[in-house]
Structure 1
Amino acid sequence: MKLCVDVGCGSGQNTAHLADYFQQVIGLDISPHQVAVAQTKNTVANVVYKEGSADSLPFEDASVDLITCCTALHWFNIEAFFAEARRVLRPGGVLACYAYWYPKTFYNDKDLTYIIDELWDSWKEVWFQTHHHLQSEYTEVPDLYQEQVTIRRAEGKFQVEKEETVDTYMDFYLSCAVCQKARDKYGHQHTDQVLNSAKQRILDAMGNKNEQQKLRVQYRYFLRMWRKPTC
């Protein structure tokens, strides 16, 4: 296949995985900073990164084989983005939107996800309005085309498992947009105390004070995917 476009590509973590299947992969993001980071990290010859908006895709009509959105659709103007996807997808082309809510977390066989559940619940007042799309696993998003595939998190068909240190794992929550909003609402000191408390609870549950100790982190994705009719 010729062209894949990864919309809302951020720093390119998802984009590079697509390179083996297409002649060209283009990562598109509205943030100049994220695009610059992706360009700096890029080592794949057929992958390029550009600035661009989901509601004004810089591609010709019927020119794209696959559009992907990894943990990005809920940030878009979905109606405008879907109109653009209809325009640029070739007949038989596919839009695939996938994301995860937050990862399940284990130390050996001990499930520590409840600690993050409680952290996330403590920030409910500062969730973005669009987070309901993550909670509903994009099932409230209107259908783009009749031919479609839906995978729910609970099915366990689409998941990635990693080992991460406690430090790295907590950095994920420190860098997320909801944490930044919590800092704006509650102050940096209070928010950092909440994060440090969650980290300490994880270490206590592990029975290990070493922040470089590895956790098993399981990202359970959900997916909605549509194929454009061929005629």
Structure 2
Amino acid sequence: MKERLQINADRFLGFADIYDSARPRCPEKVTQIILKYLGEMPLLVVDLGCGTGLSSRIWSKISNKVIGIEPSKDMIEIAKEKASDLENITFISSFSDKTGLEGNSADIVTCSQSFHWMNPETTLNEVQRILKKGGIFAVYDCDWPPIYKLEIELEYTKLFEKVREIESRHPAIKDKSIRWDKDKHLSNIKNSGHFQYAREIVFSNTEICNAQRVIEMALSQGGLQAIIKAGINEINPYIDSFKMKVFDVYGNDEFEVEFCYRMRLGIK
């Protein structure tokens, strides 16, 4: 299984820069909700599958210490670079189920758009080990696509329907990674037996966007990148069509987009 999880990590090689510039930032609502349940300021926040640190840096002004755990080489290099001026953030190259951290040490453990790439059973066992009694485990994901204009969402849908169709004909691409069902995140947390309470919370967050970022958000999707890296050129007309539609609709304007989030939360 560890070899398969390394393949999951390798899935994000080669486009960490696009990922960091395009993906949504961690909403303040995340920290507000978690702190409401925790009831005090945390001493240690652990961010599993932290990627380029987008979900780690928000905690630097809240927690005494922040530790990001990330197995992807490209991702963690950018995470370290972006947080080089923040003395209370450390990044460790490791997997979510073998953090190497001290037991009962974390007040909060988070997974931002990453829990579906982790073995839920072994990861939840590790979360239980490192989380303090009364500590919070929070998994949160945004739905794709964000709320754009209708024309953009239709073109986005067409592009990723083609991605899924190509994957169905090229199992070597799809089988290079293993992912777990996001819809089972809450039941996995509940059924682990590690938490006294668990629930789902939904919210949205607004960010400023432009046409280039819309395009890069699509290009930051691992499935599309796997097809591009495999040199399957039949995807190119769909990418080009998406790009043309985005610039045709938005031009050089800046505009607001809404990201819709689902948080699954457990209290130890």
- TM-score computed with the length of structure 2 as normaliser: 0.72
1:142: Cα distance to partner?
A: 4.2
Q: What is the RMSD computed on CA atoms of the aligned residues?
A: 2.2
Q: 1:6 aligns with which of 17, 30, 47?
A: 47
SS in 1 for 2:224: helix
Greater alpha carbon shift after TM alignment, 65-74 vs 215-224 = 215-224
Are the equivalent residues in 1 in contact too, given 2:113–2:141 (CA < 8 A)?
Answer: yes
Structure 2 counterparts to residues 172-183 of structure 1, below 5 A? 172-183=217-228
Are the equivalent residues in 2 in contact too, given 1:137–1:223 (CA < 8 A)?
Answer: no
The equivalent residue for 1:89 is 131
Aligned length: 214
1:184: Cα distance to partner?
A: 5.5
List alignment gaps of at least 5 residues for structure 2: 1-41, 168-173
Output the CA distance in 2 between the equivalents of 1:41 and 1:202.
29
The equivalent residue for 1:191 is 235
Are the equivalent residues in 2 in contact too, given 1:105–1:215 (CA < 8 A)?
Answer: no
Output the CA distance in 1 between the equivalents of 2:118 and 2:185.
13
Q: Deviations over 1:142-186 (max 9, x none)?
A: 42424012124xxxxx2222222212211122232111233366x
Which structure 1 residue ranges, 4+ long, deviate > 4 Å from structure 2?
A: none
Does residue 46 in structure 1 map to residue 91 in structure 2?
no
Code of the residue aligned with 2:67 in structure 1: it is I
Output the CA distance in 2 between the equivalents of 1:80 and 1:132.
15
Does residue 130 in structure 1 map to residue 170 in structure 2?
no
SS in 1 for 2:99: coil
Residue 123 to residue 8, structure 1, CA distance change in 2 (3 Å): same
Q: Deviations over 1:62-97 (max 9, x none)?
A: 111100000000000111101111111111111100
Q: 1:55 aligns with which of 87, 97, 111?
A: 97
Code of the residue aligned with 1:148 in structure 2: it is A
Are the equivalent residues in 1 in contact too, given 2:138–2:266 (CA < 8 A)?
Answer: yes
Does residue 225 in structure 1 map to residue 259 in structure 2?
no
List alignment gaps of at least 5 residues for structure 1: 153-157
The equivalent residue for 1:19 is 60
Does residue 116 in structure 1 map to residue 156 in structure 2?
yes
Code of the residue aligned with 1:130 in structure 2: it is R
Structure number having the greater strand percentage: 1
SS in 1 for 2:97: coil
Code of the residue aligned with 2:224 in structure 1: it is C
